[in-house]
Structure 1
C-alpha cells in the first residue's frame, strides 16, 4: 500500500501526471473517456493543480484509475488541502495567482515583474529562457504560463518575431524554444531568473538534498508571485519541511542556499522544520498567518549526485567565469552528464568508421565529442556556459580543473574551425592526424569516466 503523506492534492495530481508524461489536455481527455463525462476539461485539471479547487470524491475515483494512485492517497491529499485552507494560508502552486475572480492577474500586469504586460508572457519566457536546451509544445507552455492555448499561441508568435523564441514543426505540433542569440535574450534571462525563475531554482537546489519532504516560499516574493502589488522583493524566504529533524544535514542546506543565492543574485534565507501534523508548519518565520506561501515541487536528480564529493582544482577560474557571466550554475535534469558522454562515445565510433572515406568529417566528429566530454564534466558539477559565452570557455575550465591533457578540447575546437572553411589552406586533414586525435578523444572519454564520480557540485564560497 502507498504511504499516506501530508502533500496537497494539487501537488499530488501534478507530480503523478508529469511522472506518466501526460499533458493537462491528455489527462483531461483520458478522464473524460473513462468517466463518460465531457465536462472534464483542461481548465478543470488546471484548477485542481493550482489549488483553486479540490476534486470531488467521484473525480478522485477516476483520477485513481488514470494516474495509478490509490484512492486512500488521493483522499488523504484532499483532506490535507482542506486543513491548509482552515489554517488560513493561501497556498500557490505553478504559475497561478492566489485567488480567482477580481484578484486574478493572469492577463494583467504581473506584480512580480511589472515590466511585462501579462503573467502569460512572463510564464512563457520563464519556461523557455530558463530551459534553453529544451523545446516546448504550446500545451506545455500553457501549463507553465497558466494561460489559454489561444493566448499562449499569440504571445509566443510575438516573441518569435522579436527574435527571443524560435520554432520548428514536428508533424502537426509547433515546438518553441529560446533563441541562441539576440541582444535581448541574455538580459531577459537574468530578469526572469530573479523573478519567475525562483521556484525552479529553489526546487532544483533544495530538491537534491536527502530528507527534504516539502519546500515552501514566503515573504515579499510570494506576495508578488500571488499578484499582490508592492515593492520588489529583496530576499527569498524558504522553509524546508523534513520527515525528521536529523534527516537534513545543515552543511548541505547551507551549500544549497549559497548556490541558490549565486544563481538568483539575491539573499536566500532558509529555515528547516521537521514534519509535525500538530503544528501549523506552513507558517514561515517572520510571516503573518494570512500571507500567501508558494509550494515548490522538489526537483530530484535523475542520476546519482555527488554533492558532498571533493571539488577539483580550478575554483578560482570557475568563480571568475561565473562572476563574469560566462558560466552559469544549473540544477535538476540539466546536471545529468550521462547523455553527453553517450553521444560523445557515438561520435567517436562514427569517426572511426569515416577515417578512410572522409577524414574531415571524422575530425569534426572528434572535435564535437571533445566538447561533449567537457560539457559532461561541467554539468555534473552544476555548471554550463551561459548564453553568449565565448566558445573556448568549456575547454579552458576543464583544463584548469583536470590538467593539461584537457587542453586538447580547445585545440580540437580551433582545428575544426579551420576545417569548416573549405577555401582555407589549413582545411586539409590527413588520415594520420585523425587517427592521432581518435586516440586522444578516447583517452579524454576514459579519464572523464574515471574522475566524474569523485567530482562534487560547485558551491559558491
Structure 2
C-alpha cells in the first residue's frame, strides 16, 4: 500500500482496513481477540477513522498486526495527526503553510489567540472551559493541545493553582475540569468560545441538520487556526457537503447558521457543495488561493435532531438572558435534556424513601430534582446557564416559557436555601411537607417529559 508520510492515522487506518476488505465491526472484533481487550468496539474504530481519537501506543502495536502495517508507519501517522489536529473536531486539510515557523509549533504563541503564551495552554483551556460539564484525562488534553503529557501536566498544575481548573482522581487517572467558582472562568471561556470555539460550535449546530457529513472553513479564521499571524477574523465562511440523496433542509441550515452567529458573535455564511462532487477539489467562496482550509466534523446530538417546536411566551426572556451572558447556547451532545430528567427521577425515588425518616434530606433531593427538570428543559432547547449566571436563572426562564406551574422550581430553590441556615426556625421540613413536595415534583417531571418532546433548539 502506497502511503503519504504526512497522512494522519485516521486515513491510514481506513485505507488499510479497506485494502484488507474488513468492516469496522470485523476490525474491532479481530483487535479485541488478539489484544484480549473486549473494550475495542466498532464505535472506537469509527472514532479513530473520523480523527476524533488517536490510538494509544499499545493499541497501535495490535493494529500493526491486524492491518499488516508496520508499527513505525502507524506511529508516524499518529504524530502527523497530532500535528494537524487542533481543538474540537477540526483539521487543516489543504494549503497549510509550507514552513512551520515559531507560530506553528505546539509550544509557540497561538496565532488564533496570541494573548496566551503557548498553544498548549490555549488548547487545555479551550477543551475544559468550552466543555464545563466534562472531565478530561491528561491523555485527552494532550491530544487536544498537540503536546506531550509532561507539558500538559505542568500547565494543568499552574491552572489549578490559579483556581481556573480543578482535578479529581479515578483510580490512577487524574481528571481535570473547569472550576465554576473562580472569577476568571467566565471571561476566559468567552474569549476561547469566540476563537477556538469555532470548530465545536459549527460542528454542533450543523451536526443537528439532517444529511450534513462534512464542513470546510476558510477565510481569515482558517489562516489564524493554521498558525498564520494576522488580524482577528470578522466572519466565518463555510462550505457544507450533504450525504448523497439527502435533500437540503434550507430552514434547518439557516437556523444552524443563525445560532452559530449568536454563539460566535460574528457573521456565519455557508454554501452547499454539489452532492455529486462533495468537497473534493472545491473552493470556499472568496477563499484566497494558497491559503489553508480547515475541515470540521459535524457533531450530532445524542438524540434525534430537533425539528419541531412550540410557541413560547418566554422567547424574549431567553433572548434577553442570552444577550446578558446568563444563558449560553449549546449544541451537540450537550443539547440533550434526557439525562437531566432521568437523574431527577432517581432523586425523586430516593426522596420517597426518605420522606418519613429524614424529611430534610428528602426535600433537598426534591429541590435538586426540580433544578434538574428545569435544566433538562433548557438543554433540550440548546440552552445552559452560564458559569456566572444567577442561581434563579433556571427557574425564571422555565416559568416564563412554560407557565406558572414551573414557578415551583424557584420556590423550591429558595426554600432549600433556608435549610442552609440550621439556626433558623424555618430550617426544618416536616414529614407532611416532604410528602406534599414529593407530589409537586412528580407532577413537574411528568409535565416536563410531555413538553420536552415538542421542543426545538432555541433560535
1:383 corresponding residue in structure 2: 383
1:392 corresponding residue in structure 2: 392
> Is the alpha carbon distance of 1:279 and 1:20 closer, same or farther for their aligned partners in structure 2, counting shifts above 3 Å?
closer
> Is the alpha carbon distance of 1:245 and 1:41 closer, same or farther for their aligned partners in structure 2, counting shifts above 3 Å?
closer
Q: CA RMSD in A?
A: 2.8
Within the alignment, does 1:252 sit opposite 2:252 as a pair? Answer: yes
CA distance in 1, matches of 2:195, 2:152: 20
1:202 corresponding residue in structure 2: 202
> Is the alpha carbon distance of 1:263 and 1:408 closer, same or farther for their aligned partners in structure 2, counting shifts above 3 Å?
same
CA distance in 2, matches of 1:273, 1:230: 28
1:267 deviates by 1.1
CA distance in 2, matches of 1:358, 1:215: 54
Aligned-partner SS, 2:177:
strand
1:208 deviates by 1.1
1:332 deviates by 0.7
Q: Is the 8 A contact 1:383 1:458 kept in 2?
A: yes
Within the alignment, does 1:45 sit opposite 2:82 as a pair? Answer: no
Residues 317-354 of structure 1: CA distance to partner in whole angstroms, max 9, x if unpaired?
00011011111100011111111111100000000000
Q: Is the 8 A contact 1:98 1:226 kept in 2?
A: no
Q: Paired residue for 1:32, among 46, 61, 67?
A: 61
1:332 corresponding residue in structure 2: 332
Q: Is the 8 A contact 1:220 1:233 kept in 2?
A: yes
> Is the alpha carbon distance of 1:405 and 1:24 closer, same or farther for their aligned partners in structure 2, counting shifts above 3 Å?
closer
CA distance in 1, matches of 2:284, 2:351: 56
Q: Is the 8 A contact 1:226 1:292 kept in 2?
A: yes
2:242 corresponding residue in structure 1: 242
1:368 corresponding residue in structure 2: 368
Aligned-partner SS, 2:273:
strand
CA distance in 2, matches of 1:123, 1:141: 8
Q: Is the 8 A contact 1:17 1:27 kept in 2?
A: no
1:214 corresponding residue in structure 2: 214
1:147 corresponding residue in structure 2: 147
Q: Is the 8 A contact 1:406 1:444 kept in 2?
A: yes
1:434 deviates by 0.6
Aligned-partner SS, 1:176:
strand
Aligned-partner SS, 2:453:
helix
CA distance in 1, matches of 2:147, 2:307: 37
Residues 92-124 of structure 1: CA distance to partner in whole angstroms, max 9, x if unpaired?
xxxxx8865767331111111010111111111
Aligned pairs for 1:111-150 within 5 A: 111-150=111-150
1:207 deviates by 1.1
Residues 240-261 of structure 1: CA distance to partner in whole angstroms, max 9, x if unpaired?
1123586222111111111001
Q: Is the 8 A contact 1:311 1:458 kept in 2?
A: no
1:23 deviates by 9.1
> Is the alpha carbon distance of 1:114 and 1:49 closer, same or farther for their aligned partners in structure 2, counting shifts above 3 Å?
closer
CA distance in 2, matches of 1:421, 1:206: 47
Give the TM-score taking structure 1 as reference length: 0.84
Count of residues paired in the alignment: 415
The runs of 5 or more residues in structure 1 that have no matched partner are: 1-7, 53-80, 92-96
Q: Is the 8 A contact 1:11 1:49 kept in 2?
A: no
1:20 deviates by 7.5
> Is the alpha carbon distance of 1:430 and 1:321 closer, same or farther for their aligned partners in structure 2, counting shifts above 3 Å?
same
Q: Is the 8 A contact 2:348 2:369 kept in 1?
A: yes
CA distance in 1, matches of 2:341, 2:361: 20
1:233 corresponding residue in structure 2: 233
1:302 corresponding residue in structure 2: 302
Residues 360-392 of structure 1: CA distance to partner in whole angstroms, max 9, x if unpaired?
000000000000000000000000100110010
1:163 corresponding residue in structure 2: 163
1:9 deviates by 7.0
CA distance in 2, matches of 1:295, 1:354: 52
Within the alignment, does 1:110 sit opposite 2:110 as a pair? Answer: yes
2:406 corresponding residue in structure 1: 406
Q: Which deviates more from structure 2 when the two are superposed, residues 139-148 or residues 301-310?
A: 301-310
> Is the alpha carbon distance of 1:278 and 1:222 closer, same or farther for their aligned partners in structure 2, counting shifts above 3 Å?
closer
Aligned-partner SS, 2:78:
helix
2:264 corresponding residue in structure 1: 264
1:313 deviates by 2.2
1:162 deviates by 1.2
Aligned-partner SS, 2:122:
helix
Residues 54-107 of structure 1: CA distance to partner in whole angstroms, max 9, x if unpaired?
xxxxxxxxxxxxxxxxxxxxxxxxxxx9xx98xxx337xxxxx88657673311
Q: Which deviates more from structure 2 when the two are superposed, residues 414-423 or residues 33-42?
A: 33-42
1:406 deviates by 0.4
Residues 368-420 of structure 1: CA distance to partner in whole angstroms, max 9, x if unpaired?
00000000000000001001100100001110011000010000000011112
Give the TM-score taking structure 2 as reference length: 0.84
Q: Is the 8 A contact 1:111 1:227 kept in 2?
A: yes
